[in-house]
Amino acid sequence: MDSSKKTINVKVNGEPYEVSIKPKMTLLQLLRNELGLTGTKQACMDNSCGACTVIVNKMAVKACSVLAMQVNGKEVTTVEGLASKDGKLSILQEAFLEHSAFQCGFCSPGKLMSSTAMLEELENPTEEDIRRDMEGNLCRCTGYVQYLEAIKEVVRQRKEGSK
Amino acid sequence: MNERSVVGKPLPRVDGKAKLTGRAKFTTDVVLPGMLHAKLLRSPLPHAKIRSIDTSKAEKLPGVMAVITGKDTWGIRYGFVDTPNYPAEERPIAEDKVRFIGETVAAVAAIDPDTAEDALDLIEVDYDPLPPIFDPEEAMKDGAPQIHGEITRNTSCAWEDWGVARKSHSYTPVNNVAARVLVTYGDVEKGFAEADYIREDRSRSPGTSHMAMEPHTMVASWDPFEQKLDVWMNHMAWELKRYWLHKTLDIPLPKIRIHKTYIGGAFGGKAPCFDYEVICAFLSRKLCKPIKIELTREEVFSSCRNSHRFDISIKTGVKKDGTIVAQHCNVIVDAGAYKCSAPVAMFLSHGMCDCCLDRKNVRHEGVAVYTNKNFNFARRGHGAPQMRLAADGQYDQICEDLGLDPVEFLTKNLRKKGDVIPNGDRLDSYGLPEAIKKSAEAIKWKEKRGKQRDKNRGVGIGINGMFSGSGYWPFACTAIIRLNHDGTITLIEGDCEFGQGPDTTYSQIAAEALGLTIEDVTLVSSDSELCPMNYSNFLSGGMFVGGGAVYNAAIDLREKLLKVASEVMRAKPEDIELKDKKAFLKSNPKRAYTFTEIQRYHIQKHLGDPLFGIGYKKAVPEIEFYPSLSKGTGRFTDAYGFTASTAEVEVDRETGRIRVLKIVVAEDSGYEINTAVCRGQLVSQAVQGMSDALFEEIMDDEGRVLNPNLVDYEIPRAFDVPEIEIIDCSDFEPKGPWGAKEIGECARAAVISAVVNAVYDATGVRVMRIPVTPERMFNALKAQEKK
């Protein structure tokens, strides 16, 4: 074994992994290159676009700016972990589909993860909350409007459901 | 087929589940066994001779598999425009000279990206710097450094197999002029002589980045036994890319397969041939290994195509009542180091705009100029946004000068539905008048225009027209529909999905014609080996040409089904309806046969199973070869899309900051096949147009891009997006599938003009250089105060 490598234990989408990695490897590289989870996208590599957003222990983070070593012992959720294994979309994914809240789809995984974390954290987010959450996720196709509508719809449904 | 059940609806996109679960395969996600990675060494100088390149140290680095330079690819030429008058001059790797910072001078293939990157540092290039030239107007002056010597046609990618003449000549650009265009009609001098009022203005639109989210990437895999190249790549039409790979590397066309991947955004920026594509395929063939080249975001900004900077002088003569009588446009296009699409851009700045207003006597002169900067290509509108800013900004000012209302001014100068415009195109559908009216109403034009300056608020209007595909040879598509044994269909067509939605809308078009649901359609698309001819996805031809071919294929299959059904049912075809995978009598729906039964009958009686639908569509059937770019004569397109946009802004006079309060986009895109997809296209353009007006510019200093990343090159984020109202002003387009036409590119230009004109209305200060950044606005306001 390469002595410069370190071993980490991480749970990704509910499944435990033990991987031996170079210490400088980013979480994004771990997911895409080592674990083959290519749903998480790389678009800027400087923490500015949000395409690589994943959830680490309930917090949305940009995987290009987190070292893989930092997720040792933690739980990571990627876009591949949102739908159920037998093919049922999450409520948010369903809303994205219904509202055409994506076009080319390259930034969608990052947006889904960031909004999923926001919806977990905030019971009843306002439009401003939603926009603030979106600020970190660049999108060139949609102009954000249908995306915003999809999330508002999820919030509305959740409110009705809790009544 | 009376009541429509599949088209005209906001159905969920068929690519949705793949894209929203991370399963959608983009080129960046492609990994092949034994795959190597290549990196490119870029020129640090804007203009220099290459004396020598020493690659020996790089070659010795463990893990490096190959290093190539211009010596390996010497003589290979390609270009977006490659015609007898304009032979191509782009090359995959610089040979004896570099012409811009970022030009490729060598490439390394290695076992991983880091090793390839390390090897780049070990390559020693001995440059002999030459004086560079960056400004197009300076570059045209006598004595300026000459960027190109004689351009000869040694290898070429001219479309000779498709009708472009083989005869060609070498030429030497004079004063760095890459190409010229002159379009005239009417009598311009007489027109100006009749004018009551004449204005001359200048404007500048900067180079901008398409900024597609997926950075340019390609994977190539050469099979030495089959002598075949498999490719996964970022593109907007695989036919073009395959043709360029075939010509540059001399690989037979059927021996190149471009596989379907989803494309992470394009906006024009992924259509032309790129250096890294030729290099990727070259290295794969050299090493008989799969090669991946994934560009960094900085490389996308500084070495891939951006949009053209345009400097436009425009002179317009009008009557007192605002009737335009003459216009003279002078367009200078900053081509950059290679011409790429510059000859097309300056022509299109006329071609796309001539459909909107009747200007009576027109002279449109264009010149594309080489400079020592990264070179450029179409971005969403290709020349129209730059031209519309110049024209609509000037019309706004003419109205101010003469005390006219801009909405009335535009309305007075409109063309008419059914008009044949000077190049021969007929406006069979023309929703612009209604779009102008409704966009003005939606922004409360009458209440607000010129009445809110005390609040530093204002409203403005802009318009645009856009081709639905054009005669750029060979702009044609074929589609095939197979009737499956269970009565569903498999649609086989070549269009690629880069966000604009053809996988969904084409499925809807076919399903509607056959009485099926969208779930009944299995799609095979965007694969060069499986799909028939497809050239449609630029100049906004997707729906009209690609979708048109699908429509024709579906109608073909429908007619065949009806013919067989009429035999089975002993009824006239016109008395039979198709629905739910069945044919039934309109008068007695219980008398029905399933598609499966009809097909079985057809096999029994007709010796086989030819229940296939085949459809073709060409953008402009009258164009046999290709239109003249230099004279702008001949037909441009069969159908134009139209937009009128209005905007309301608020200007902070202390900081120069502009806040957009509302954007209205009123669009005539013909019948909307998928209303949610259409809305997405228009909202997208509203936000991009606003961004062009206020944010976006590639900044450079001595040829070096200063903002090659997503922090310094600002695009709108969620908080920047204002209220956006989309108004459907569609006019039925008789030649389009179900009446549909262009939607993807028109609106952006109209929004830019609307925002810039609204800034004037708010302040009384006209800034005709975009983006109107806070700094530019602040300085303009200060200059106004001094007066």
Q: Are B402 and B318 in contact (CB under 8 A)?
A: yes
Q: Are B534 and B546 in contact (CB under 8 A)?
A: yes
Nearest to B262 by CA among B78, B23, B450: B23
Nearest to B538 by CA among B305, B229, B252: B305
Nearest CA in chain A to B301: A44
Helix (H) or strand (E) holding B183: strand B177-185
Which of A40, A51, A141 has its CB closest to that of B684? Answer: A141
Using a CB–CB cutoff of 8 Å, tell me whether A99 touches chain B. Answer: yes
**Angle of CA points B734, B352, B469, to nearest 5°:** 50
| Residues within 8 A of B (CB atoms), A 2-31 only | none
Chain A nearest-CA distance from B360, in A, is: 37
DSSP state of A155: H
Contact A103 B265 (CB under 8 A): yes
What is the rounded distance in angstroms from the CA atom of residue B337 to the CA atom of residue B47? Answer: 9
Nearest CA in chain A to B498: A104
pLDDT for the residue B1:
44
pLDDT at A2 over 70: no
Q: Establish how many alpha carbons lie within 13 A of residue B618's alpha carbon, considering only the half-sphere containing its beta carbon.
A: 13
Chain A positions in Cβ-Cβ contact with residue B688 (cut-off 8 Å): 140, 143
Give all domains of chain B, ordered by start, each with its CATH number: 16-23+476-618 (3.30.365.10), 32-132+141-150+212-266+270-303 (3.90.1170.50), 309-471+625-786 (3.30.365.10)
For residue B36, the one-letter residue type is L
SS3 B26: strand
Nearest CA in chain A to B721: A143
Chain A positions in Cβ-Cβ contact with residue B713 (cut-off 8 Å): none
CA of B101: how far to CAs of B90, B94, B104, B301, B304, in Å? 15, 12, 9, 11, 12
pLDDT for the residue B459:
98
Identify the burial level of B460 via C-beta atoms within 10 angstroms of its C-beta, where 0-12 means exposed, 13-18 middle and 19 or more buried: buried
Chain B positions in Cβ-Cβ contact with residue A132 (cut-off 8 Å): 718-719
A3's CB contacts (< 8 A; 6+ apart) are: none
Which of B267, B677, B724 has its CB closest to that of A145? Answer: B724
DSSP state of B484: P
SS3 string of A13-68? CCEEEEEEECCCCEHHHHHHHHCCCCCCCCCCCCCCCCCCEEEECCEEEEHHHCEH
* Mean pLDDT per 10-residue section of chain B, whose length is 787 residues: 85 98 98 98 98 98 98 93 84 97 98 97 98 98 96 69 65 94 96 98 98 98 98 94 94 96 97 97 98 97 97 98 98 97 93 95 97 97 97 98 98 98 96 98 98 98 96 85 96 96 98 98 97 89 96 98 95 96 96 95 83 94 72 86 98 97 98 97 98 97 96 95 97 97 97 98 97 98 91
Contact B683 A134 (CB under 8 A): no
For residue B565, the one-letter residue type is A
Delimit the CATH 3.10.20.30 region(s) of chain A.
Answer: 6-81
Cα torsion B44, B48, B49, B52 to 10°: value is -20
Delimit the CATH 1.10.150.120 region(s) of chain A.
Answer: 91-162
Chain A nearest-CA distance from B21, in A, is: 6
Residue A59, both tokens: 């917090």
Chain B positions in Cβ-Cβ contact with residue A130 (cut-off 8 Å): 718
Contact A140 B719 (CB under 8 A): no
Nearest CA in chain B to A112: B20
Other beta carbons within 10 angstroms of residue B623's beta carbon come to: 20
Contact B717 A134 (CB under 8 A): yes
pLDDT for the residue A125:
97
DSSP per-residue letters across B545-560 = IIHHHHHHHHHHHHHH
Q: Establish how many alpha carbons lie within 13 A of residue B107's alpha carbon, considering only the half-sphere containing its beta carbon.
A: 31
Checking DSSP bridges between strand B309-318 and strand B324-336, what pairing results, if any?
Answer: antiparallel
pLDDT for the residue B763:
98
Q: Are A119 and A151 in contact (CB under 8 A)?
A: yes
Residue B528, both tokens: 């060069």
What is the rounded distance in angstroms from the CA atom of residue B509 to the CA atom of residue B674? Answer: 10
Nearest to B645 by CA among B427, B428, B406: B406
Chain A nearest-CA distance from B482, in A, is: 28
Chain A positions in Cβ-Cβ contact with residue B663 (cut-off 8 Å): none
* Helix A127-134 vs helix A108-121: crossing angle, to nearest 10: 140
ipTM over 0.90: yes
Which of B20, B212, B296 has its CB closest to that of A97? Answer: B20
pLDDT for the residue B633:
75
What is the rounded distance in angstroms from the CA atom of residue B740 to the CA atom of residue B60? Answer: 59
Q: Give pTM, 2 decimals.
A: 0.97
Other beta carbons within 10 angstroms of residue B579's beta carbon come to: 14
pLDDT for the residue A162:
76
Using a CB–CB cutoff of 8 Å, tell me whether A102 touches chain B. Answer: yes
- CATH topology assigned to domain A6-81: Ubiquitin-like (UB roll) (3.10.20)
Name the percent of chain A lying above pLDDT 90. Answer: 93
SS3 B69: strand
SS3 B182: strand
Using a CB–CB cutoff of 8 Å, tell me whether A126 touches chain B. Answer: no
- CATH topology assigned to domain A91-162: DNA polymerase; domain 1 (1.10.150)
